[in-house]
Structure 1
């Protein structure tokens, strides 16, 4: 990629042989241990997006974070497992020193016009321009996004009248601005920190173990959004015995649901 945007540099892959790409971690997107998981997921998806055998657009992506990604170079193996007339299944392996650190499966398809209905409406929220950008430097990757929280701000004391809750509602986009596409949507689907942070109002050793994104958006819908904000909501259903779920949604400013994400998150007592 020729783009100078930090995100494009972070997910950049160079073909080195059939189904094999080479990449390098980015200091701009470092997290507590290794790179921001959203960037890792976007890098794996990017391997399919630039593969010469790719068919259609992403419908779902499941990423399993098997171990920490060390700083430096890595390889991504992207194997098309089966291609049908309008669908395609992929196996993705990220390796360092011959060991798998991240695995993923991706489902791509050619989408056609059918009955269309949106059951999940966007929550009510003030316009993003009316909310100041959150200036917080928790980790390097936080600096790469424009966060505008409606409620559920990380590590901030809750108002006395507000009950304990795991929900966050916020506007978010790349910072500096970048036109939305499937790779950046993938990363944005993972910008919600572990919900245990909200309950404890402090850092807790934790991390995503497995994450599945369901892409509702078409490439035309993403192009229409351009550099606009997305409205994101995330919450947990249950935290129990070191693990929690996490469900997140992303809508466009005009209320179109673009992405649903589910995660399994580890946390330490």
Structure 2
């Protein structure tokens, strides 16, 4: 039986080198599909390209317009391939219009000196934290087991930090597309600051993949620990910075630019 996530990121390679994908209702968001599933589909498609080098290292996707329900096309171009890394640009086209642009870097992992300066936030075990649902109109969230340690969807706080245990639902072994999707699984930080839903959406998402294939295999289908916060809010935009941790390994970091409007009333 195919996992719903794998159904949602399915792509078909055409003879002209363009990948075709179709939106999946399980990952609908308030407007258009969940941005994380679009990012995951791009990563999955690039991994299928016959000329790809190595594994994903970085992805930036700019959401120029909402993707409409239906089929969309991913146009990719290799800008340059070096000895250990490869640079891509891409556009997502739908009905004759560009709805997203972006870039990606793939590369070969080499055995070098390593250290992690970031600190994994403290958290009780996932079994000791209650799962929390999002409202029904946020369809994509039903595909994740979400256990908030701090900063839940119903909270209001002067600190925009959320830390939560996160896992695909049903369970699914972690891979690069799933990791890309999870880096967008944080609800907009402005919701937490105001304690209410308000018009908001990601303009640009960048993800850095620190995980090696061995890290992903070691993680398996266990919960990751995800944490995010904003730095500055105002003038209709804010930034949002996040980390995705495995058991003791930093798997990915991410940053977003998000637009928002003041809540009504």
The normalised TM-score by structure 1 is 0.95
Question: In structure 2, how many angstroms separate the alpha carbons of the residues matched to 1:157 and 1:100?
Answer: 37
Quote the offset at 1:109 in angstroms. 0.8
Q: Secondary structure of 1:17's partner? A: coil
Q: Which residue does 2:223 correspond to in 1?
A: 229
C-alpha change, 1:200 and 1:119, in structure 2 (3 Å) is same
Q: Which residue does 1:181 correspond to in 2?
A: 175
Q: Which residue does 2:165 correspond to in 1?
A: 171
Q: Secondary structure of 1:264's partner? A: strand
Unaligned 5+ residue runs, structure 2?
none
Match of 1:255 among 245, 248, 251: 248
Question: In structure 2, how many angstroms separate the alpha carbons of the residues matched to 1:33 and 1:61?
Answer: 22
The answer as to whether partners of 1:121 and 1:255 remain within 8 angstroms in 2 is no
The answer as to whether partners of 1:55 and 1:88 remain within 8 angstroms in 2 is yes
1:188-203 correspondence to structure 2 within 5 Å: 188-203=182-197
What do the CA deviations read for 1:93-142 (whole angstroms, capped 9, x no partner)?
Answer: 11101211011100011110000001012111000011121133341001
Question: In structure 2, how many angstroms separate the alpha carbons of the residues matched to 1:157 and 1:128?
Answer: 20
Quote the offset at 1:157 in angstroms. 4.0
C-alpha change, 1:157 and 1:21, in structure 2 (3 Å) is closer
Unaligned 5+ residue runs, structure 1?
none
Matched, 1:128 2:122: no
Quote the offset at 1:19 in angstroms. 2.3
C-alpha change, 1:157 and 1:194, in structure 2 (3 Å) is closer
Match of 1:205 among 199, 215, 227: 199
The answer as to whether partners of 2:87 and 2:104 remain within 8 angstroms in 1 is yes
C-alpha change, 1:234 and 1:157, in structure 2 (3 Å) is closer
Equivalent residue pairs, number:
261
Q: Which moved more, 1:167-176 or 1:77-86?
A: 77-86
What do the CA deviations read for 1:162-193 (whole angstroms, capped 9, x no partner)?
Answer: x5211001000100000000000000010001
Question: In structure 2, how many angstroms separate the alpha carbons of the residues matched to 1:141 and 1:88?
Answer: 31
Match of 1:38 among 32, 36, 39: 36
Matched, 1:218 2:218: no
Question: In structure 2, how many angstroms separate the alpha carbons of the residues matched to 1:172 and 1:234?
Answer: 13
RMSD value, Cα: 1.1
Question: In structure 1, how many angstroms separate the alpha carbons of the residues matched to 2:155 and 2:211?
Answer: 35
Question: In structure 1, how many angstroms separate the alpha carbons of the residues matched to 2:2 and 2:101?
Answer: 28
Runs of 4+ in 1 over 4 A off after TM superposition: none
Match of 1:66 among 56, 64, 67: 64
Question: In structure 1, how many angstroms separate the alpha carbons of the residues matched to 2:37 and 2:60?
Answer: 14
Question: In structure 1, how many angstroms separate the alpha carbons of the residues matched to 2:17 and 2:76?
Answer: 5
The normalised TM-score by structure 2 is 0.96
